[in-house]
Amino acid sequence: MQAFVKPNHERIWLVVAGLLPLLLCLFFTFIEARQTVARQQEMTAAALLSQAEHISDLAWDVTDSLKTLGNRPCKDVLSQLQKLGALTPYFRSVGLTLDNTVYCSSAFGSSRGRVAGMIRHPLPSSGQSWWTLSLAGTFGVQDRPAVIFMRQASDRTGSYAVVDGQYLIDLMRVTGLNLGYHITMQFGGGYPIANAASLSHQQENWKTRTFTSGSSDYPIAISISAPRTETLQSWRQILLTFMPMAVILSVLFVAVTNSWLRRRSSYRDELRRGMAFGEFSVHYQPICHLESGRLAGVEALMRWQRSDGSWVRPDIFIAAAEAEGMIVPLTRHLLQLIARDCASWKVPAGFHIGINVAADHLQHDDFVKDIRGFSQSIAHLQPIITLELTERSLISEGDRVAHKLAELRSEGTLVAIDDFGTGHCSLTYLQTFPLDYLKIDKSFVGAIESAYGETPILDTIIQLAHKLALQVVAEGIETPLQMKYLKSHGVTFIQGYYYARPLSSAALMAWIEQNPQPGTSLF
Ligand code: G
Ligand code: G
Ligand code: MN
């Protein structure tokens, strides 16, 4: 039975409260770790690029200054070339060319050779006056990378500088060393100069995060691959900082949830205690048959007076009982209280007793049994029991509910839709469910303020009820004007403060005695 404790439900709440901070912490620290690694890669790339640009600046300056030496015999300029080549940092050699042939170089003097032979690579066919290319090696130093910077003059002459790759390799090694980076740098789309950090196990792509970047001034591209373990390491570090906090939050959440659950269940306990100590009672509001002016019956309304004398409003404790899965036991308690009151009643046969039924109860397996039991307990009065259902309670399990209602109706119980027009009303209910009454909500009755005022919704509801052959009960009648209006519009029953307020069982019996019924006597 769903009515009482829901331990599984509560355990799930606790688990969610406990896990939520931990999972969120894991998630966000992982994101942060990835970003940290990306930031590191970015910073490393920026530092390396700036150094590569600095070397490029230097190389282009030197080739520029060499231009003035073009067309002069090698023996005249060789000593200057040698000085430049030897004294400029990073440089392997500088030289002069004519028609893409080196005729004078700081490394090999005036011995001639094709530029393509020196760089062991075909010349780029860009047609530009300058170009740069990273190389696996040069004619002089074949197994060490280098970068050539070539400047071509319009008169077939040119000058070049070759920078030794070792500077770049050392720099990449140092910056990427402890982070396990695999770094490559390319000039002009040439040979990728790498820091050669254990390539073998990094080649598997999924194990690395690669960041690529380029220079905005020169054709230099850089690529930095970090092993995934780097992300994990950084994750672990951030976790060490934040996990204790998340654990504290988790404990806090569990504690708060636990106390919330306990408060909830304590409300359940209070309802149970209220029932056990007889704090609930029933008030009965008379319902008038308009045509005859006679008392037709009552609606049972539950009341709760706490042991300290304070009253709990019914809309509050009914809503709480519904939320805490206590509405079924509470309604059963109500039925017992009514049966107890009815034992001393003197009312004519056919007296209507309206009971408000909650959705949960209607869907409960024992609903029909409960109503039958109640009916038997007050059978001596030969009353007509009217079940008052809200539109909301008809929404789910429509077929089963309709079946139960049909069963009870065949045994003489009537069915009313309560507060009609205020719920999630779907007019199809009116056709699919076996119904007897529409109870028009008091808000529509309240709209009757003068005999000539417009009350389009109220009028439409009354007409609709008539077309469907349903009897109409209007609720909340407070003025004679409202009563007259409803009477002239064919409403059968009224209920409201104008006729009578909800009364205790004893007060109801006294009220009946003091109000001689017009027309035929009730007794
Ligand atoms: O008159 P009163 O303030 O009692 O009504 C407040 C609300 O509580 C109304 O909507 C009424 O239908 C509801 N209510 C009163 N008694 C009961 C009851 O016994 N069962 C249910 N389900 N609702 C009730
Ligand atoms: O179950 P239902 O929601 O129909 O409950 C009727 C509610 O209307 C109860 O809270 C009852 O006390 C209230 N009530 C009954 N007659 C009047 C009335 O004339 N005026 C107002 N404002 N409320 C009324
Ligand atoms: Mn009602």
pLDDT (tens digit per residue) in 49-96: 999 999 999 999 999 999 888 778 999 999 999 999 999 999 999 999
- For residue 302 and ligand 1, the question of a CB distance below 6 A is answered with yes
User: Does the pLDDT of residue 450 top 80, yes or no?
Assistant: no
Closest CA to 402 of 428, 376, 422, 420: 428
Mean pLDDT of 328-346: 96
Average pLDDT, the chain: 90
pLDDT of 323 > 70? The answer is yes
pLDDT on residue 522: 36
- Whether 301 lines ligand 1, by a CB cut-off of 6 Å, is yes
Ligand nearest to the CA of 475: 2
pLDDT digits (tens, 9 = 90+) for 162-215: 999 999 999 999 988 778 889 999 999 999 999 875 555 545 555 678 899 999
Average pLDDT score over residue span 406-421: 93
The HSE-up count of residue 73 (CA atoms within 13 Å, CB side) is: 2
Which band of pLDDT confidence, cut at 50, 70 and 90, is reported for residue 394?
Answer: confident
Instruction: Say what the pLDDT of residue 518 is.
Output: 65
| 58-72, 299-313, 446-460, 461-475, range with the lowest pLDDT | 446-460
> Which residues does residue 462 pair with via DSSP β-bridges, in sequence order?
none
Of 516, 451, 520, 517, nearest to 483 by C-alpha is 451
User: Quick one: average pLDDT of 414-418?
Assistant: 94
Q: What ligand is nearest to the CA atom of residue 393?
A: 1
CA-nearest residue for atom 20, ligand 1, is: 356
Query: What is residue 423's predicted lDDT score, i.e. its pLDDT?
Result: 74
What's the pLDDT tens digit per position in 196-205?
A: 755 555 455 5
Q: Is the pLDDT at 451 greater than 90, yes or no?
A: no
**Using a 6 Å cutoff on CB, does residue 320 contact ligand 1?**
no
Give the pLDDT of residue 69. 87
User: How far does Cα 154 stand from its chain's mean position?
Assistant: 67
Sheet strand arrangement including 146-152: 113-114, 101-105, 91-98, 157-164, 146-152, 130-135
Segment 31-35 shows an average pLDDT of 94
Q: What ligand has the least distance to the C-alpha of 476?
A: 2
Q: Which atom of ligand 1 is nearest to the CA of 322?
A: 22
Q: Ligand 1, atom 7: nearest CA belongs to which residue?
A: 315
Evaluate if residue 301 carries a pLDDT over 50.
yes
Q: Residues enclosing ligand 2, CB less than 6 A?
A: 285, 301, 356, 388, 418-419, 439, 442, 475-478, 495-497, 502
What pLDDT sits at residue 39? 94
Query: What pLDDT is attached to residue 197?
Result: 53
Residues 6+ apart with CB under 8 A from 297: 286, 287, 351, 352, 353, 354, 383, 384, 386
Q: Which ligand is nearest to the CA of 302?
A: 1
Ion ligand 3 — residues with CB < 5 Å? 356, 388, 418
Binned at pLDDT 50, 70 and 90, residue 132 comes out as very high
Q: Which of 281, 301, 363 to mutate to test the pocket of ligand 1 (most atoms within 8 A of CB)?
A: 301
The C-alpha R_g of the chain, in whole angstroms, comes to 47
Q: What is the pLDDT of residue 453?
A: 77
Strand duo 437-440 + 471-475: pairing: parallel
Instruction: Verify whether ligand 1 is closer than 6 Å to residue 226 (CB atom).
Output: no
- Locate the DSSP E strands across 233-348: 280-289, 294-305, 311-312
Substitution site in 302, 305, 364, 419 for ligand 1 pocket (most atoms within 8 Å of beta carbon): 302
Higher pLDDT, 120 or 204: 120
Q: Taking phi first (over 0 means left), then psi (-120 to 50 degrees means alpha), and beta for anything else, what does residue 151 get?
A: beta
Atom 13 in ligand 2: residue holding the nearest Cα: 476
Position 71 scores a pLDDT of 79
Ligand 3 centroid to Cα of residue 288, in Å, is 15
Q: What percent of the chain has pLDDT above 70? A: 94
For residue 398, pLDDT beyond 60 = yes
Lowest mean pLDDT among 238-242, 355-359, 447-451: 447-451
CB 49, CB 43: distance < 8 Å: no
User: What's the gap in Å between 222 CA and the centre of ligand 2?
Assistant: 79
- Report the residue among 299, 303, 311, 315 best suited for mutation to probe ligand 1: largest number of ligand atoms under 8 A from its CB: 315
CA–CA dist 425, 443 (Å, integer): 15
Which are the contacts of 184, defined by CB distance < 8 A and separation ≥ 6?
Answer: 192, 193, 194, 195, 222, 223
Nearest CA to ligand 2 atom 24: 476
* pLDDT category of residue 520 using cuts at 50, 70 and 90: very low
Express each pLDDT in 431-443 by its tens digit: 888 899 999 999 9
Whether the pLDDT of residue 280 is over 50: the answer is: yes
Q: What is the mean pLDDT of residues 409-430?
A: 86
Instruction: Give the 3-state secondary structure of residue 356.
Output: strand
Under DSSP, is residue 23 helix (H, G, I), strand (E, B) or coil?
helix
Which amino acid residue places its CA nearest to atom 3 of ligand 1?
Answer: 314
Q: Are 289 and 352 in contact (CB under 8 A)?
A: no
Q: Are strands 352-357 and 294-305 parallel, antiparallel or unpaired?
A: parallel
What mean pLDDT do residues 229-249 have?
Answer: 94
* pLDDT value of position 194: 93
pLDDT of residue 4: 40
* Among 285, 418, 437, residue to substitute to test ligand 2 (most atoms within 8 Å of Cβ): 285
Nearest ligand to residue 319 Cα: 1
**What does the pLDDT read at residue 178?**
78
**pLDDT greater than 50 at residue 249:** yes
Query: How many A from CA of 315 to the centre of ligand 1?
Result: 6
pLDDT at residue 11 above 90? no
